[in-house]
Amino acid sequence: MKKFVYNFKEGNKDMKSLLGGKGANLAEMTNIGLNVPPGFTVTTEACIQYDEEGKTLWPQLLDEIFEKLAQLEDETGKTFGHGENPLLVSVRSGSVFSMPGMMDTILNLGLNDETVISLIKKSGNERFAYDSYRRFIQMFSDVAMGVSKSNFEHELEKMKHEKGCENDTDLDASDLKLLVERYKEIYKRELKTDFPQDTKEQLKLSLKAVFDSWNNPRAVIYRNLNEISHKLGTAVNIQSMVFGNMGDRSGTGVAFTRNPATGENKVFGEFLMNAQGEDVVAGIRTPLSIDELESIMPAVYNQFMKTTQILENHYRDMQDIEFTIEDEILYLLQTRTGKRTAKAAVNIAVDLVEEGKITKLESVGRIDPHMLEQLLHPSFDEKEVKNHELLAKGLPASPGAASGQIYFTADSAVEAKEKGISVILVRQETSPEDIAGMINSEGILTARGGMTSHAAVVARGMGKCCVAGCQDIRIDEHAKTMKVKDMVLTEGDVISLDGSTGGVYLGSIPKASTSLIENFEVFMQYVNDFKTMKVRANADNARDARKAIELGAEGIGLCRTEHMFFDEERILNVRKMIVAETLEEREAALKLLLPYQKQDFIEIYEVMKELPVTIRLLDPPLHEFLPNTDEDIKEVADSIGKTFDHLKDVVERLHEFNPMLGHRGCRLAVTYPEIYKMQVRAIIAAAIDMKKENIDVNPEIMIPLICAKSELVYIKTFLIEEINSVFEETGETVEYTIGTMIEVPRAAITADEIAEEAEFFSFGTNDLTQMGFGFSRDDSGKFLDDYTKKGILDYSPFETLDIAGIGKMVKMACTLGRETNPGIKLGICGEHGGDPKSIAFCQSVGLDYVSCSPFRVPIARLAAAQAAIDDGTVRDK
């Protein structure tokens, strides 16, 4: 017969799935000799079976429970529901994962009108007995029977008011006795039946309530949100009571074995004298710091300090402990791994390694890569956030926190910044022309666009806070207003952005202090010991490249050349090139751009030195370059000696219905080879300059948007010709490679053919996702939410790689590519390159590197190390 009930002595910490986290740890603490009030755990399997039995407690289960209860009576020398020394218990739920929304704990169960009298006699403390009874009636009614606790709290307040006292500790025995009577009346009034005097009945009803709470709506929503299975069930712990409310030699508290905010190796905790259960967290009275226990009860304090050490050494991690002191005897009621800030997490991980308590490998596994974001970006002071109105919520596009005055155009942002103003740039959406405005802003807010919109991608690259796709705001760029809720904000008004949550707040919010802690570098060294994939960064200029190196990047995986073209000094020549109607005109414009391009690459090479730099040849949808306003058209027309009308006509002809699928990427070079020729000339000439300074740089020339081998061959041929002529002209040669992005589905499918001509593949998973799903990146914000809300997709495929579909294409392309070109280098440069789950996938298909925005490099490094550890590629050193 299956066993459904375990005495604490029968369990251990590894039995979490059966006993729940709380039960497994109560068992573990019991068995390592700590002072835990005896008790037993009803298993999670019983909870599941309870559902299958039509939500009834079946006889065999009840037999087992009451048999264990009888043993508990023997163990404690107390009797349940009668006798001179009554046994009281707590009923505590505890699932495998701690879960808010589940049932609360019931304390002091076993009290009735008879046992309360015995408790008075036994303890000689009438006040304590009635205090316990009134607590029990309230908790049982609220938690097990659904009578709102406000009924009782109201009565308690009334009583305090009548007595003219402030704290519940000021109420005396007769007050509490009267309160018990009033509480029983409330019970009867609300439930039309008397408060149960049968203690077995109390226990059964409580047990059912815990089991039922597994399926209460809050718990179900929480599990859905956190992808926790509904089949796990919750365990129920039934434990003999100890009393922190027995008087001035008793108390209750919570403590962390190290400081959870800073990681400092010093016990951090709070306690209350003469209190029970959740009084400390409920804020009924102001608790004392654990340090003060030393003067109140030195012996208990010393014992407690020793116990924290025992627990931490045993669990080999910082613990979060709940304890009670009854008449100067210390009891442990719970222990679990303590939650902590990112700063504390890193400090504790490194300290534990240095104290010899855990290995480096273990320390690497202990930190959630996402947590590092907290360390890399500023954040608001949490206490301050509460004082500011939340105006709207957008997408958390680029982490960080920023406050400043709003400006609606890039130019006005730049001007304001020059006056020393902190700027928040507010745009419908951004385009490459807003770059200067973005650089000069503290943060960026857009009304449209998703996680891979221009604003999001560029802001992440800059490490700048950005909230994108904030649908709740209406922006009028001409009127320079932003409508949100029933407010109209105008230029100069102050708002704050939280790029980690997507929150937009009114006013300026002070920031919490940030500085990379010393241990961060130490920890990242551990990370490097284990990761096998390289981590590169996406960087388009020397500034980003330097940041990338600083954060540990091992190369550039994507240098986008179009951003370089948008520089104010060049845009005119770029436009001339685009609207050129003859080869001569175009070549003339390109000739003017060449020196700039070469200088761009020299600057990047100077930072990256021998490290690989993947340079993607031009890939913007054409419309992004076109002169838009009449003013711009006129400027271009004048400078090339054409009429306004003529040029306007040219621009209109260049208009595309679907620019994302239009004349972009290598297609541009099929029509106008001279553009890419100029770019490779700049890449190679810059490399030759570096060689003269004895630096052998490593350019990897990457062709975007390839869909067929023949297309690649066509382009490669003229690129190589051009490169060879640079070699001839200069009498120098340099090493380089030519490869392609795999971002069009057809390229993934014909990767074996393409690999014959490519020295590397870099998966452009943004486009591959866009084209694979047929979801426009720029428009999907409008409907993707519905897909995740309605459970059609588990997550946005633009944030985490869709492993089942897009991932399958990536995997297939890797296999096919290696078939015809075994030495082919494989990487990823889409936004997914910085996402931990996607990185684990990259490891599994054997990519050589991932590439992500500079500020995500540490996150990617950690995720890569964890992926290598998890798949068994590396072992402990």
Catalytic residue annotation? 454, 829
Spatial contact of 234 and 47, defined as CB atoms under 8 Å apart: yes
By CB under 5 A, residue 334 contacts Mg ion: yes
The answer for residues whose C-beta is within 8 angstroms of residue 297's C-beta and 6 or more apart is 249, 325, 328
355: which 2 tokens? 């104290």
Within 550-589, the residues that bind ligand ADP by CB under 6 A are none
Q: How far is the CB of 99 from Mg ion (least distance, A)?
A: 12
| Nearest to ligand ADP of 86, 665 (CB atom) | 86
| Nearest to ligand ADP of 239, 780 (CB atom) | 239
Choice from 11, 21, 23, 37 touching ligand ADP (CB under 6 A)? 37
User: CA-to-CA distance for 157 and 166, rounded, in angstroms?
Assistant: 9
Residue type, 862: L
User: CA-to-CA distance for 126 and 9, rounded, in angstroms?
Assistant: 33
Within 274-333, the residues that bind ligand ADP by CB under 6 A are 277-278, 322, 324, 333
User: CA-to-CA distance for 482 and 473, rounded, in angstroms?
Assistant: 6
Stretch that binds Mg ion, among 237-245, 262-270, 326-334, 373-381 (CB under 5 A): 326-334
Burial group, residue 618, by CB count within 10 angstroms (0-12, 13-18, 19+): buried
Q: How far is the CB of 210 from ligand ADP (least distance, A)?
A: 10
277 binds, among ligand ADP, Mg ion, none (CB under 5 to 8 A by kind): ligand ADP
Stretch that binds ligand ADP, among 9-17, 179-187, 237-245, 809-817 (CB under 6 A): 237-245
Spatial contact of 462 and 514, defined as CB atoms under 8 Å apart: no
764 binds, among ligand ADP, Mg ion, none (CB under 5 to 8 A by kind): Mg ion
Q: How far is the CB of 107 from ligand ADP (least distance, A)?
A: 6
Q: Is 443 helix (H, G, I), strand (E, B) or coil?
A: strand
User: CA-to-CA distance for 207 and 575, rounded, in angstroms?
Assistant: 74
Q: How far is the CB of 207 from ligand ADP (least distance, A)?
A: 14
Which has the closest alpha carbon to 244: 206, 209, 284, 187? 284
| Nearest to ligand ADP of 241, 824 (CB atom) | 241
User: CA-to-CA distance for 826 and 708, rounded, in angstroms?
Assistant: 18
575 binds, among Mg ion, ligand ADP, none (CB under 5 to 8 A by kind): none
32: which 2 tokens? 């390592």
Closest residue by beta carbon to Mg ion: 767
Q: How far is the CB of 569 from Mg ion (least distance, A)?
A: 26
By CB under 5 A, residue 767 contacts Mg ion: yes
Which has the closest alpha carbon to 358: 367, 349, 370? 349
368 binds, among Mg ion, ligand ADP, none (CB under 5 to 8 A by kind): none
Stretch that binds Mg ion, among 127-135, 334-342, 548-556, 835-843 (CB under 5 A): 334-342
Q: Is 277 helix (H, G, I), strand (E, B) or coil?
A: coil
Biggest alpha carbon–alpha carbon distance for the chain: 108
DSSP character at residue 462: H
User: CA-to-CA distance for 367 and 517, rounded, in angstroms?
Assistant: 15
The answer for residues whose C-beta is within 8 angstroms of residue 608's C-beta and 6 or more apart is 545, 549, 555, 556, 697
| Nearest to ligand ADP of 92, 677 (CB atom) | 92
Q: How far is the CB of 333 from ligand ADP (least distance, A)?
A: 5
Q: How far is the CB of 771 from ligand ADP (least distance, A)?
A: 48
Q: How far is the CB of 432 from Mg ion (least distance, A)?
A: 15
Q: Judged by CB under 6 A, how many residues of this single chain contact ligand ADP?
A: 15
User: CA-to-CA distance for 608 and 544, rounded, in angstroms?
Assistant: 11
Choice from 107, 109, 438, 458 touching ligand ADP (CB under 6 A)? 107
Q: How far is the CB of 197 from ligand ADP (least distance, A)?
A: 22
User: CA-to-CA distance for 203 and 478, rounded, in angstroms?
Assistant: 68
| Nearest to Mg ion of 64, 562 (CB atom) | 562
Sheet holding 473-476, edge to edge: 473-476, 481-484, 487-490
DSSP character at residue 149: T
| Nearest to ligand ADP of 102, 690 (CB atom) | 102
241 binds, among ligand ADP, Mg ion, none (CB under 5 to 8 A by kind): ligand ADP
132 binds, among Mg ion, ligand ADP, none (CB under 5 to 8 A by kind): none
| Nearest to ligand ADP of 146, 595 (CB atom) | 146
Spatial contact of 444 and 465, defined as CB atoms under 8 Å apart: yes
Number of other CB atoms surrounding residue 428 within 10 Å: 16
Q: How far is the CB of 764 from Mg ion (least distance, A)?
A: 4
| Nearest to ligand ADP of 106, 459 (CB atom) | 106
Q: Where would I find the H helices in 57-172?
A: 59-76, 115-123, 126-139, 150-163
Choice from 13, 16, 92, 534 touching ligand ADP (CB under 6 A)? 92
By CB under 5 A, residue 245 contacts Mg ion: no
Query: Where are any strands of DSSP class E within 20-102?
Result: 39-42, 89-95
Stretch that binds ligand ADP, among 235-243, 523-531, 565-573, 608-616 (CB under 6 A): 235-243
User: CA-to-CA distance for 831 and 834, rounded, in angstroms?
Assistant: 6
250 binds, among Mg ion, ligand ADP, none (CB under 5 to 8 A by kind): none
Which has the closest alpha carbon to 572: 629, 620, 627, 619? 627
User: CA-to-CA distance for 600 and 682, rounded, in angstroms?
Assistant: 9
| Nearest to ligand ADP of 271, 625 (CB atom) | 271
Which element (helix H / strand E) includes 763?
Answer: strand 760-763
| Nearest to ligand ADP of 252, 405 (CB atom) | 252
347 binds, among ligand ADP, Mg ion, none (CB under 5 to 8 A by kind): none
Four-residue CA torsion sign, 398, 404, 407, 411: negative
Mask for 491-530, x = binds ligand ADP (CB under 6 A): ----------------------------------------
Number of other CB atoms surrounding residue 22 within 10 Å: 26
Residue type, 775: F
Choice from 334, 538, 780, 838 touching ligand ADP (CB under 6 A)? 334
| Nearest to ligand ADP of 107, 391 (CB atom) | 107
Choice from 673, 764, 817, 858 touching Mg ion (CB under 5 A)? 764
583: which 2 tokens? 């080869």
Q: Is 383 helix (H, G, I), strand (E, B) or coil?
A: helix
Choice from 43, 90, 347, 441 touching ligand ADP (CB under 6 A)? 90
Stretch that binds ligand ADP, among 209-217, 234-242, 288-296, 385-393 (CB under 6 A): 234-242
By CB under 5 A, residue 320 contacts Mg ion: no
User: CA-to-CA distance for 810 and 807, rounded, in angstroms?
Assistant: 5
User: CA-to-CA distance for 750 and 822, rounded, in angstroms?
Assistant: 16
Burial group, residue 44, by CB count within 10 angstroms (0-12, 13-18, 19+): buried
242 binds, among Mg ion, ligand ADP, none (CB under 5 to 8 A by kind): ligand ADP
767 binds, among ligand ADP, Mg ion, none (CB under 5 to 8 A by kind): Mg ion
Choice from 24, 34, 241, 715 touching ligand ADP (CB under 6 A)? 241
233: which 2 tokens? 């069930």
Spatial contact of 683 and 701, defined as CB atoms under 8 Å apart: yes
| Nearest to Mg ion of 534, 777 (CB atom) | 777
By CB under 6 A, residue 30 contacts ligand ADP: no
| Nearest to Mg ion of 267, 280 (CB atom) | 280
- Report the interface residues with Mg ion, using CB under 5 A: 322, 334, 743, 764, 767
Where does this chain bind ligand ADP (CB under 6 A)?
Answer: 37, 90, 92, 105, 107, 239, 241-242, 252, 277-278, 322, 324, 333-334
